[in-house]
Chains A and B, each alone.
Chain A
Amino acid sequence: MPDVNITVDGKKVTAPAGTLLIEACKTVGIEVPAFCYYPGLSLQGACRMCLVKVEKMPKLQTACTTVISEGMAVTTDHEEIHQARKSMVELLLGNHPLDCPVCDAGGECELQDMTFSYGASESKYTEAKNHKEEQQWSPVVFFDRPRCILCYRCVRVCDEAMDVAALGIQNRGSGSVIAPNMGDHLDCEECGMCIDICPVGALTSGAYRYKTRPWEMNHVATACTHCGDGCKTTLGVRRSETGMEIVRGDNRDKSGPNGDFLCVKGRYAFDFANRTDRLTQPLVRRNGKLVPVTWDEALTYVGQKLAEIRSQSGGASMGVIGSNRTTNEENYLLQKFARVVLQTNNIDHQRTADFAAFAAALAGRPDATASAREVFDAPAILLIGNDPTEQHPLLAYQIRNNVRLHKARLYVVNSESVKLRRQATLFSQIPSGSEAAFAAFLAGGDVANGANRDEWNALRDQLRKETGLVIAFGSELRGASIASLNKFALSVQGAKLICLADYANSRGAADMGVYPDLLPGYVPLIQGSKFKAEWGTLPDAAGLTLPGMVDAAKSCKLKALLVVGANPVFRMKLDPATFANSFLVVQDLFLSETAAVADVVLPAASAYEKSGTFTNTYGDVQLVKQAGEITGTKSDFEIIVRIAERMGYDVAKLVPFGSGSRADMGQSRGAQSGEADRHAVWLEAQGLELKMNPFDPTAVFDEIQRLVPGYQVSRLNLMAGNDQHTRLDQNGGGAVGDPALIQPANDGLFSSGSTGRYSKTLNTVMENRNRVEMPKVAAD
């Protein structure tokens, strides 16, 4: 677009044609206040706060709806404008209750800020304010009508960004009121975007109401622990009797791939961590009953027992089940522990997508994966299988808004009439189970049954014309189908792929080699010379898969099993007596079905209570920071290291701590001491920081960056809280597991595996699951 030159307060501004005046002002650091204007949403022009003087225009103009034009001369600082803003604030405060001390928004309220910056100190209005009782619209959404300033942000975000349209405006003029779709309550996705976007305290969150105040909390930006999208969430934490309690989740700083978007899980389902029935003491089975013991006792017992079994029956009689929600460092450490300390390759996790096949298919094309951010900018998207609205809310959000704002073309191929069809340029409903056939067709095959022939041919031709196509596929496609899809992707210029898995670190578990036949970075066992050089001898034969271990346990061949953050008894619907003859050690948050039959249960910290990194399903690695704290728990990382130590293993070989060098150049003392932090960050980023203890996950991350192909991301950017896209680099592309091992959890918006089961909020909003069928075409 050609550039347009304008003058704002005497400053020259050049911006592309079509830029809004308010945005143009922002580029030169001139703030124009506004309530109703929100970047990315449609224009409203309701609040009249952004009035500016434009030369040769008779009246003040709204900067949020005025498009810049050549030679425009704008004044934003003028007595007339000050007066207008003052009057606007006064009018807004006409019926706005002054209950700021009680209001949840107090301290982060835009109306407070505006009144402070632009408002008058007194009001002409002496009339009594018109009070209306607060309404509860859903378990998590409360509406306080008098506080509403009618900016309609909530209505627009619900309609446009979320495509839910659960909020409307009734009546008109000053009598307008925000109304929920079911008359007195909401039936929606409960994402809480309306609460988040509300500039005042009119919409408040049921989870956070009246608990604390914004400045009383510490804010920790970390990755969400629920689905595989890896949204960044900023958790508000405060002191509690048991350590640190998480009281709020949002992403107001708009960092991370999700911007300010969060779904119901990211925003409210942190509450599983605060539950009172969390395990806080190790349990050991004595005389058939689990009794609480000290950490020392439990760890010594586990260490002795595992060492005993190893020396008696060998490593092949032991198994390890890894997790989809432990950090990369923990997954890496766990498989290293299994291979090096237990001397077994019997390690697996619940696979929800066929990443092994994905990595094998993409061998030699390290940059063929798309990041979460790229979905928002891609000119075209092909979605095969999966229902992102339910399973990958961020993906759905990115796709929806890409279509809305950038006019991207969306092609949806699904066996269900998924909601994203409303945004699709082309929606093809295929028979359930024929996704693989479709992938084979795309790769150049022919349609087996002639029914869809013309439609599929047209779709394929159209797709081949696209450039920069992003192809996202669900767990319906596995093994050879992924290879066919990759073959098709090669025929489309600049096409990139996304493999969708269910949990927060499913991709991480796969990348870190929690596989019986693959080492970290999908390196086949036989090609693991690099790892052998560092770790010493490794067992050569491929180990047992998850069902294999269960079978071995049933036939009494599995003498010991370590389960970290998984619940196979519940997930695989096993008979609880399956592991009766194995020494079963479980590390978990709650006394799950598997933990209930264990010999030793070790209370683990949740992902919100430890640090490390997560890799989302797109391959973006993000920092996980400790927010909450529950006294008595230990991170899985620490537990694994301590077990290894009790087994008599030199932990320095497991966790490469003690390396690095530290040069204190005086910055930690005296007047320059503020520099010390930055200095430490630099050292850490360069890998020079001394890792002082074996429980430091960054020591393992050093090793990951050294040994795992594709993880050589910028450490500095990662530590600054940015998501970094990894590459599927130099992977072996040899061994590929059995596609039948893939067991998607099919969690929806209101469920999230085992953590979701323990979330009170998720369980209270479950009633609202019966969604009203939406019309086929989205209103533009």
Chain B
Amino acid sequence: MSVIKDISEVAKGMGITFMEMFQPTVVENYPDGPGIFKGAKFQERFRGMHVLQRDENGLEKCVACFLCAAACPSNCIYIEAAENTAEKRVSGAERYAEVYNIDYNRCIFCGYCVEACPTDAITHGHGFEVATFNVGALVYRKEQLLAIKPAQMGDNAVFNKQEMETQRVLPG
């Protein structure tokens, strides 16, 4: 009896193995996969590299309130504030961040900055390929963190705003 029992136990175990053979693979084919993420898959709420968002007018949402820097447990955010002028308007409010650095040597991707942000300016993106041979390159400047401008305002946009508007008034 014990032999039969043993065989059945082995069959049971092997059954799982054979069954898995016909299941789709769970290994992610990163970095040889398709698409811009090269096969990497993300949960929607994955906390990757930060993105500094813009509002619908293309102005920066960040008003340099320093709350992210205050909330940061690893003290990796450095900001210098400046005042918007009529000639140079960068953000929607009176103040903007002239310098906004995140030191990814120190960042622990905890998301406290995103939670602290009163204007939803800083968000987590999905970027995660930060590895580098140079520590200096891990200090990201505002220019590297900023979201691209809305299509109609971008530097390399196909349409500029005026064209968009003329198109809109055309019949049809």
- Chains A and B touch (C-beta atoms under 8 A apart): yes
CB distance from A112 to the nearest CB of B (A): 13
* Residue among B65, B82, B83 making CB contact with A101, cutoff 8 Å: B65
> Are B65's CB and A210's CB within 8 A?
no
The reply to whether the CB of A209 lies closer than 8 angstroms to some CB of chain B is yes
* Residue among A99, A209, A215 making CB contact with B83, cutoff 8 Å: A209
Q: Which of B12-20, B39-47, B66-74, B162-170 contacts A (4 or more CB under 8 A)?
A: B66-74
Question: Per-residue CB proximity of A209-220 to B under 8 Å, as 1/0?
Answer: 111110110000
Contacts of A100 in B (CB 8 A): 65, 118
* A contact patch SS: loop
> Are A99's CB and B81's CB within 8 A?
no
CB interface residues, A 98-142, toward B, < 8 Å: 99-102, 106
> Are A101's CB and B69's CB within 8 A?
no
* Residue among B69, B70, B79, B93 making CB contact with A102, cutoff 8 Å: B93
> Are A102's CB and B65's CB within 8 A?
yes
Question: Per-residue CB proximity of A84-105 to B under 8 Å, as 1/0?
Answer: 0000000000000001111000
Complex Cα–Cα for A211 and B94 (A): 11
* Residue among B69, B82, B118 making CB contact with A216, cutoff 8 Å: B69
Question: Per-residue CB proximity of B117-130 to A under 8 Å, as 1/0?
Answer: 01100000000000
> Are A212's CB and B65's CB within 8 A?
no
Contacts of B81 in A (CB 8 A): 210-213
Complex Cα–Cα for A510 and B89 (A): 53
Contacts of A209 in B (CB 8 A): 83
Question: Per-residue CB proximity of B59-102 to A under 8 Å, as 1/0?
Answer: 00001111101100000000101110000000001110000000
Number of interface residues of B (CB under 8 A): 16
* Residue among B66, B82, B93, B94 making CB contact with A215, cutoff 8 Å: B66
Given A210-B81, A210-B94, A211-B81: A101 and B119 interface contact (C-beta under 8 Å):
yes
CB distance from B9 to the nearest CB of A (A): 57
Contacts of A99 in B (CB 8 A): 93
Complex Cα–Cα for A212 and B69 (A): 12
Contacts of A210 in B (CB 8 A): 64, 81-83, 94-95
> Are A101's CB and B63's CB within 8 A?
yes
B65, closest chain A residue (CB): A101
Given A101-B118, A102-B93: A213 and B66 interface contact (C-beta under 8 Å):
yes
Interface centre among B64, B82, B93, B95 (most CB of A within 10 A): B95
> Are A102's CB and B66's CB within 8 A?
no
Contacts of B79 in A (CB 8 A): 216
Question: Per-residue CB proximity of A765-779 to B under 8 Å, as 1/0?
Answer: 000000000000000
Complex Cα–Cα for A211 and B99 (A): 12
Contacts of A211 in B (CB 8 A): 81-83
Complex Cα–Cα for A101 and B69 (A): 13
CB distance from B157 to the nearest CB of A (A): 29
Complex Cα–Cα for A90 and B127 (A): 43
Q: Report the 9 A-B pairs with minimum CB-CB distance, sorted nearest first.
A: A101-B65, A210-B95, A210-B83, A102-B93, A213-B66, A101-B118, A102-B63, A216-B66, A102-B94
16 extra interchain contacts, Cβ-Cβ under 8 A, other than A100-B118, A210-B95? A101-B118, A102-B65, A102-B93, A102-B94, A209-B83, A210-B64, A210-B81, A210-B94, A211-B81, A211-B82, A212-B66, A213-B70, A213-B81, A215-B66, A216-B70, A216-B79
Q: Which residue numbers of A lie inside 8 Å of B, CB to CB?
A: 99-102, 106, 209-213, 215-216
